[in-house]
Amino acid sequence: MNRVGYVYDPIYLDHITGNHPENPSRLEAVREYLAATGILQRLVPIPAMAATEQDLLRVHTERMVRQVANLSGRGGGRIDMDTLVSSRSYEAALYAAGGTMAAVQATVDGQVDAAFALVRPPGHHATPRQSMGFCLFNNVAVTARWAQEVLGIRRIAIVDFDVHHGNGTDDEFDADPDVLFISTHEYPLYPGTGDWRRPTHVRGPNNNLNIPLPAETDDDGYMQVFRALVEPALRRHKPELLLVSAGYDGHWADPLAWQMLSIQCYYDIAASLYALSQEICPGRLVFVLEGGYDLDVLSAGVASSFAAMLGLPFDDPLGPARKQGVAVDRLIRRLAEWHMLDGSNAEPASPDTRSSDAT
């Protein structure tokens, strides 16, 4: 059986956010579900560590780091309407970034074939200059920069399948041709970024793959995207490390978005990424938890990803969406042309009568 590790630390529960959608019950539910299904017992525990301020400063400004630290030191408060800080949030955020780094270290050392960092607060909206969107520091970006500088890993790919665009990660790596950033996200939706036609491509179209999907994109649409765009882009980039911002808020039952994914689709995405990582960067795959705000969906989604990496079957406890989604083949062809990818897998898995006017 594949060796799959996980990072978790109780400090993540000390980022207290009250009745905010991103709250400690998310990780509590995930842990309980993994234990109840027997998956947790199959995993290799990886101790979390704290990132240092130097680690954060590879990505974030000193002013931003001080803002979070000082607000936490004063007992907490709001950075903006969506982003909360409590008395131990700064420490939790250090361990969230450091836990992600620990997961990468375990894969590099050969302890595991893949790992999942079950961390919070999440990170992909945190820009180099601003905490936002439930995120304090950008766990994936901090880890990627650390991997480049400390571990000597030059070429990195980041796949973000959270339903929201990973604007912070995109901003950080926009000028680095060694880091491929791929984001599948509902568009338009918070934070309003991620249009593939944006005029600020510093690196050029080959190294920045934003895939803005219309509301009500379903399993078929997402898997078309992965086959026709994500997988060939990763093969072309040939990363030495594959990081995944894993959000489960694209599910049909999630309250904060309007996509139509099933747990089965999350299983298929994880299986695709695991298989591809074994092809292009064996043993260097790390998932990092981002969004997902229905506890049943989040728990089953994370468990399905672990099952896929372990090579185990997994039954979707919630089933598929109750209606058919929109087609995305026209969008895929446009993106394939723009990014100079083949795009031959853009056709739907089976003929249907869906509209194909997505833009």
Catalytic residue annotation: 125
Alpha carbons within 13 A on the beta-carbon side of 309: 30
- 234/181 Cα distance (integer angstroms): 10
Query: Which tokens is 303 given?
Result: 């468990």
Helix pair angle (89-108, 62-73), 10° resolution:
130
Residue 68 DSSP SS3: helix
Cβ 64 vs Cβ 333: under 8 Å: no
Cβ 240 vs Cβ 154: under 8 Å: yes
Report in angstroms the alpha-carbon separations of 162 from 56, 159, 256: 22, 9, 12
Q: Interior CA angle at 198 toward 197 and 200, to 5°?
A: 135
For residues 187, 256, 118 and 139, what is the CA-based torsion angle, rounded to 10 degrees?
50
Total Cβ atoms within 10 A of residue 155: 16
Residue indicated by tokens 């070429």: 155
Cβ 276 vs Cβ 234: under 8 Å: yes
Burial of 226 per CB tally in 10 Å (0-12, 13-18, 19+): buried
Q: Interior CA angle at 85 toward 82 and 89, to 5°?
A: 130
Q: Interior CA angle at 198 toward 237 and 166, to 5°?
A: 60
218 phi, psi to nearest 5 deg:
-110, -170
